[in-house]
A and B are shown apart, each in its own frame.
Chain A
Amino acid sequence: EAGVVQSPRYKIIEKKQPVAFWCNPISGHNTLYWYLQNLGQGPELLIRYENEEAVDDSQLPKDRFSAERLKGVDSTLKIQPAELGDSAVYLCASSPGWTGASNEQFFGPGTRLTVL
């Protein structure tokens, strides 16, 4: 079974530029999460999707961050414009959701963003 796929793995941009991250969850997983992980810290939830609906985006800085999951499968996370403080690892995770017996979340490899 393929795991959660993310691209790109690394991204270096200059401040004020836009950037986008892509995530393909495990097949059949209804719930998709985007997390931010700063160096030396645990992941922090940015947004959670149940199918195509964003059910928890309370931690997403909506002035510059946006996300979508149009067909309830793949998702993109965008930052526009990027700031120096956005440098971090952006993790995508998925779980079976309410249809599954497990709460386990499966993480992708992450995208390491560096803003110069």
Chain B
Amino acid sequence: GENVEQHPSTLSVQEGDSAVIKCTYSDSASNYFPWYKQELGKRPQLIIDIRSNVGEKKDQRIAVTLNKTAKHFSLHITETQPEDSAVYFCAALGAGFQKLVFGTGTRLLVSP
């Protein structure tokens, strides 16, 4: 089955800096890659997603890139703000169709 690895596990940046979180997946048939943000004690919320027929997608300060050949995708946050502090999870839709496999999460801390 699908296996998703995520790095780093923690990331500390200064306000205004950029943050990059990277994930790799194992199933070449995976075709959908969402990123979820989860604040402490809250539900995971989708912030951006990308399908396998697209190499990059942007939404204001966040962007996701996908390299199908290397089977990795990354989340980029520019001009970080303290409210970006949360745990971010990547995921891949595996061959089991609609079965999302999540990474282990990255705790992002943005210091003012």
Counting CB contacts under 8 A, is A105 at the interface?
Answer: yes
A32 nearest CB across to chain B (Å): 11
Interface size class of B (residues with CB under 8 A): 20 to 34
B99 partner residues in chain A, CB cutoff 8 A: 45, 48, 56
Inter-subunit contact A43/B43 (CB<8 Å): no
Q: Which residue from A4, A103, A107 sits with its C-beta under 8 Å from B98?
A: A103
Secondary structure call for the B interface? strand
Q: Which of B34, B43, B96 counts the most chain A CB atoms within 10 A?
A: B43
A97 partner residues in chain B, CB cutoff 8 A: 98
Inter-subunit contact B44/A91 (CB<8 Å): yes
Inter-subunit contact B34/A104 (CB<8 Å): yes
Inter-subunit contact B49/A103 (CB<8 Å): yes
Counting CB contacts under 8 A, is B75 at the interface?
Answer: no
Inter-subunit contact A44/B102 (CB<8 Å): yes
Q: A42-B105, A56-B99, A104-B49 are in contact. List 5 more A-B contacts (CB 8 A).
A: A45-B99, A48-B99, A103-B49, A103-B93, A109-B43
Q: Which residues of B contact A (CB under 8 A)?
A: 6, 32, 34, 36, 42-46, 49, 89, 91, 93, 96, 98-105
